[in-house]
Amino acid sequence: MKVLAGGTFNNIHKGHVFFISECKKLGDFLVIVIANDSTVLKRKKLLRNAEKRKESVESLGIADSVIIGNEKNHLEIIEKERPDIIALGYDQKMPGLEEKTKELGLKIIRIKKLEGYSTRANIR
């Protein structure tokens, strides 16, 4: 089973490692999508560009593939990758995702939060 998950991964911490590890347990092949810079800047401060964030996630050695998301069409990657499962973090929202998953017959699984770890807390 192919699992697709995504995030900003601005400042890798134990909560991210937990999230990616839990996603990996859901299937045989894990694709992590790194939010592109313009998407991040719409919602939060950008600490490192997408390439650097991609390298950080790759260096963990957990994901089978790490890609940078599409700025104009967030759902295009789902169509291209054709995962069986989309794993979301406890606080992630993706407009249009529910309709797309129904259309493609995908399952959404929400990963619980590892208490005490967040990027905001690390920045402070």
Task: Give this prediction's pTM.
Answer: 0.87
Are 70 and 91 within 8 A, CB to CB? Answer: no
Predicted confidence band of residue 117 (pLDDT cuts 50, 70, 90): low
2-123, what's its fold?
A: Rossmann fold (3.40.50)
What is the mean predicted confidence (pLDDT) over 87-109?
A: 84
- Core vs surface per residue 25-59: b (16+ CB within 10 A) or e: ebbeebbbbbbbbebbeeeeebebebeebbebbee
Is the model more confident about 57 or about 103?
Answer: 57
| Domain boundaries defined on the chain | 2-123
pLDDT attached to residue 118 = 57
- Model confidence at 94: pLDDT above 80: no
For 118, the token pair is: 């967040």
